[in-house]
């Protein structure tokens, strides 16, 4: 049995890690110690996605079957060495929120020790939080939407962006859907990014018909379709970071994919459901995948792109 508290040195910092043997995933037996070990084992791949971004923690102090809460405001008792940023609330009120900014391994371990299973990041970085550095499309399948439909819709959105001269990336959400992201060059506002995302989403809905819905009300969405969510583009809105664990049985992980993998999913026969396929990416399997393939969202793959030529092409091709 793990001791109730372990004092350890990580880099230049001393941390007191507590209740490492506490089970966070009852059906799988994974503990808080396993969560911390996972995040530390992939730190070289995860930190580039976290650096400079305000971080919202989703904490599960009693495990995934217990109550959860989102924590934007800096937790009480946080060490002085944890980096932070204070920003006005996006609503424009006089209130402010101080966020953690996870720039190093000690901070990552500290967050995991708070039973922060899921890590939510802004889509912009310091020092220019008003300028997103990527656009996100969240593809969320309905309860009866098969994997093949989800993959086909995702590829169609990819190809739509390719028509405009753009090269997106893709990852699992760690749940049932896929995230498609488009890295941006510096200087764009959230308003510009959101307008472009809506143009793409509406064109996709027009072309794909019943396989896509833009209906925001969950109860009104067709359950065999993919909800193409473009409204997550906005100041202070978040995305689950690549390689974040999710609070689901099996401890699945939000995992970047090769486009060839999505193409293979589009050829799958039968009523395979997205959750059945994506459940193979977990805290046990992802470290080996990263060691074998590296981060699919790094280096030359993360190509920062311009929107002006794409918008001009879209107006010519889609009007």
The domain ranges of the chain are 5-122, 134-237+246-318
Check for a shared fold between 5-122 and 134-237+246-318. yes
The first and second tokens of residue 203, run together, are 């064109």
Distance between CA atoms of 182 and 307, rounded to whole angstroms? Answer: 10
Structure confidence at residue 133 (pLDDT): 96
Structure confidence at residue 1 (pLDDT): 56
Contacts of 118 (CB under 8 A, 6+ apart): 57, 58, 240, 244, 245, 246, 247
pLDDT in tens, the chain (319 residues): 556 789 999 999 999 999 999 999 999 999 999 999 999 999 999 999 999 999 999 999 999 999 999 999 999 899 999 999 999 876 656 689 999 999 999 999 999 999 999 999 999 999 999 999 999 999 999 999 999 999 999 999 999 999 999 999 999 999 999 999 999 999 999 999 999 999 999 999 999 999 999 999 989 999 999 999 998 899 999 999 999 999 999 999 999 999 999 999 999 887 888 888 899 999 999 999 999 999 999 999 999 999 999 999 988 988 7
What is the strand order of the sheet 134-141 is part of? 212-213, 226-229, 134-141, 178-183, 169-172, 256-257
Distance between CA atoms of 34 and 289, rounded to whole angstroms? Answer: 18
Distance between CA atoms of 223 and 233, rounded to whole angstroms? Answer: 24
Q: Which helix (H) or strand (E) holds 292?
A: helix 286-293
Return the bridge partners of 139, or none: 178, 228
Q: Domain 5-122 in CATH: superfamily? A: DNA primase, PRIM domain (3.90.920.10)
The first and second tokens of residue 22, run together, are 């506490």
Structure confidence at residue 70 (pLDDT): 96
- Would you call 184 helix, strand, or coil by DSSP? strand
Distance between CA atoms of 187 and 23, rounded to whole angstroms? Answer: 45
Distance between CA atoms of 154 and 226, rounded to whole angstroms? Answer: 9
Q: Angle CA(279)–CA(283)–CA(288) in degrees, nearest 5?
A: 100
Q: Domain 134-237+246-318 in CATH: superfamily? A: DNA primase, PRIM domain (3.90.920.10)
The CA–CA distances, whole Å, from 119 to 9, 38, 86, 203, 275 equal 23, 13, 18, 31, 20
DSSP 23: E
């Amino acid at each position: 049995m793990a001791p109730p508290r372990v004092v350890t040195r990580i880099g230049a910092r001393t941390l007191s890690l507590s209740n490492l043997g506490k089970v966070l995933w009852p059906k799988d037996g994974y503990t808080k110690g396993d969560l911390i070990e996972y995040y530390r084992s992939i730190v070289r791949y995860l930190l580039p996605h976290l650096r400079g971004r305000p971080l919202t923690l989703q904490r599960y102090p009693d495990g995934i079957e217990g109550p959860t809460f989102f924590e934007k405001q800096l937790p009480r008792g946080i060490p002085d060495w944890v980096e932070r940023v204070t920003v006005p609330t996006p609503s424009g009120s006089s209130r402010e929120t101080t966020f953690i900014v996870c720039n190093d391994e000690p901070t990552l371990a500290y967050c995991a020790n708070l039973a922060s299973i899921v890590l939510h990041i802004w889509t912009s970085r310091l020092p220019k939080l008003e300028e997103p550095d990527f656009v996100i499309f969240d593809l969320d399948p309905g309860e009866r939407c098969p994997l093949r439909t989800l993959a086909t819709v995702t590829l169609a959105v990819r190809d739509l962006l390719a028509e405009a001269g753009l090269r997106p990336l893709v990852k699992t959400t760690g749940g049932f859907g896929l995230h498609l992201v488009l890295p941006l060059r510096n200087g764009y506002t959230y308003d510009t990014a959101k307008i472009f995302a809506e143009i793409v989403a509406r064109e996709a809905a027009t072309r794909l018909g019943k396989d896509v819905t833009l209906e925001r009300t969950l109860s009104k969405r067709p359950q065999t379709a993919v909800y193409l969510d473009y409204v997550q583009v906005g100041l202070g809105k978040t995305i689950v970071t690549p390689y974040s664990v999710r609070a689901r049985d099996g401890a699945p992980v939000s995992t970047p994919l090769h486009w060839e993998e999505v193409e293979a999913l589009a050829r799958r026969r039968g009523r395979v459901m997205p959750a059945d396929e994506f459940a193979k990416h977990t805290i046990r399997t992802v470290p080996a995948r990263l060691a074998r393939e590296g981060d699919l969202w790094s280096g030359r793959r993360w190509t920062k792109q311009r929107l002006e030529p794409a918008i001009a092409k879209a107006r010519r091709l889609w009007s």
